[in-house]
Structure 1
Amino acid sequence: MEIEKKVTVGLIVAILVQTGGALVWAGSAAERIRAVETELDDRKMVSERLVRVEAQLEAVSGQLNRIERRMEARDE
């Protein structure tokens, strides 16, 4: 059994098409990864802002409690 060692134009075209498809797929995958990374960065900033807002709300709640205690003591 003998194998021919010829490379046909069809084989070259098939390899080029397959390689092109792989490059397009890799490019779109990289773009999707970049979009996910951007969204994660945005969420991180929102998360940090939420933590600050929660801390401020706790401070305001404490102030309100002190004001209520003073008003109740004043009424008595």
Structure 2
Amino acid sequence: MKLGDNAGWKLDRHIPVALVVTIALQTGAALTWSGAAAERLTALELRSGRTDEVVERTARLEEQSQAMRASLARIEEKLDRAVARR
């Protein structure tokens, strides 16, 4: 085959219009589906970011509650010693 002999793809006139329309509709549906999937993924990423914040805040609250428990235990010990001295 020579390079000058219209090498490449040709569109044959025997291809039915219904086939072209079907392929166009399928392509449109695939693009719509992928756009919707991208939106869902973006929403999940945002939710995941918020979840990370909640996890971090929960960890901080747990640390603070442990510190409060330790402080409360020290206060109770001091009160018990003060009551025992009387």
TM-score over 0.5 (shorter chain): yes
- Where structure 1 has 5 or more consecutive residues not aligned to the other structure, the ranges are none
- Specify every segment of 5 or more residues in structure 2 that has no aligned partner in the other structure, as ranges: 1-11
Match in the other structure for 2:45: 37
Q: How many residues align?
A: 73
Normalised by the length of structure 2, the TM-score is 0.80
Answer with 1 or 2: which has the greater Rg: 2
State how far apart, in whole Å, the 2-side matches of 1:39 and 1:10 are: 43
Q: What's 1:15 paired with?
A: 23
Greater relative contact order (CA < 8 Å, ≥ 6 in sequence): 2
- Kindly provide the CA deviation profile for residues 4-35 of structure 1, in whole angstroms up to 9, marking residues without a partner as x: 87212211111100100000011111111111
| Runs of 4 or more consecutive aligned structure 1 residues displaced over 3 Å after TM superposition | none
| Aligned match of 1:28 | 36
Higher helix content, 1 or 2: 1
1:54 deviates by 0.4
Q: Distance in 2 between matches of 1:7 and 1:64?
A: 84
Q: Percent identity at matched positions? A: 38
Superposed CA RMSD in Å reads 1.3
Q: What amino acid does structure 1 have at the position aligned with 2:57?
A: R
